[in-house]
């Protein structure tokens, strides 16, 4: 593999099934950003990734001599580097509110995914907690066309990949979460979301 820092095209080291990698791919597709996406098997990490990211984690984004390896940092960098269409509000107050909402999404919902990837009582408890939390938040998904906003935003880029994975974890929300279901349907129908899916992710919903 050629040295990444010699590439003229942006490079994303991505997992085919990782929800964090999916978030970045969703942003790339939404903004129409050309990127060379390398699907990485974590059991056989390429030398480039080891050299560029001291943690060896995915996703890792390389833009010429810049290497980024935290999902939120990557997404905000892409939004600033390619400002149209914007994923973050323009004014400071709205930006702070969006960051706070994203923080809660990651703490309350993403935080359960690691346990769901395990097995036994911990996974059962996390499955129940995630389902109950989403159902309790159903009204929030009904307030506006997108999550807490009339415009597609960075929060939707985080929620789409998470909601797509619910069947994989055996989570059925039922009629008590009709708002979540309708919101998810709108996201999944976006051309950018469909473009962001890996072959492995498509199988998560048949």
Annotated catalytic residues are 18
Tell whether omega for the bond before 96 is within 30 degrees of 0, i.e. cis.
no
Q: Which of these, 15, 12, 9, 13, lies nearest to 197 by C-alpha position?
A: 15
- Reading the block at residue 86, the tokens are 């914007």
CA atoms of 160 and 185, how far apart (whole Å): 9
- Reading the block at residue 4, the tokens are 């990444």
Burial of 113 (0-12, 13-18, 19+ CB in 10 A): middle
């Amino acid at each position: 593999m050629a040295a990444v820092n010699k590439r003229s095209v942006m490079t994303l080291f991505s997992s085919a099934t990782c929800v964090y990698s999916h978030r970045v791919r969703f942003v790339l597709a939404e903004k129409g950003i050309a990127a060379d996406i390398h699907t990485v098997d974590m059991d056989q990490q390429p030398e480039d990734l080891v050299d560029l990211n001291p943690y060896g984690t995915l996703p890792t984004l390389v833009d010429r001599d810049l290497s980024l390896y935290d999902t939120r940092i990557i997404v905000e960098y892409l939004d600033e580097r390619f400002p149209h269409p914007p994923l973050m509000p323009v004014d400071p107050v709205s930006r702070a509110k969006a960051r706070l909402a994203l923080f809660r999404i990651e703490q309350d919902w993403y935080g359960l995914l690691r346990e769901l990837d395990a097995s036994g009582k911990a996974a059962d408890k996390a499955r129940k907690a995630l389902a109950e939390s989403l159902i309790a938040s159903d009204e929030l998904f009904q307030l506006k066309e997108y999550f807490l906003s009339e415009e597609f935003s960075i929060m939707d880029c985080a929620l789409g990949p998470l909601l797509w994975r619910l069947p994989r974890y055996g989570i059925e929300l039922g009629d008590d979460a009709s708002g979540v279901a309708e919101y998810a349907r709108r996201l999944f129908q976006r051309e950018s979301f469909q473009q962001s899916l890996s072959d492995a992710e498509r199988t998560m919903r048949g």
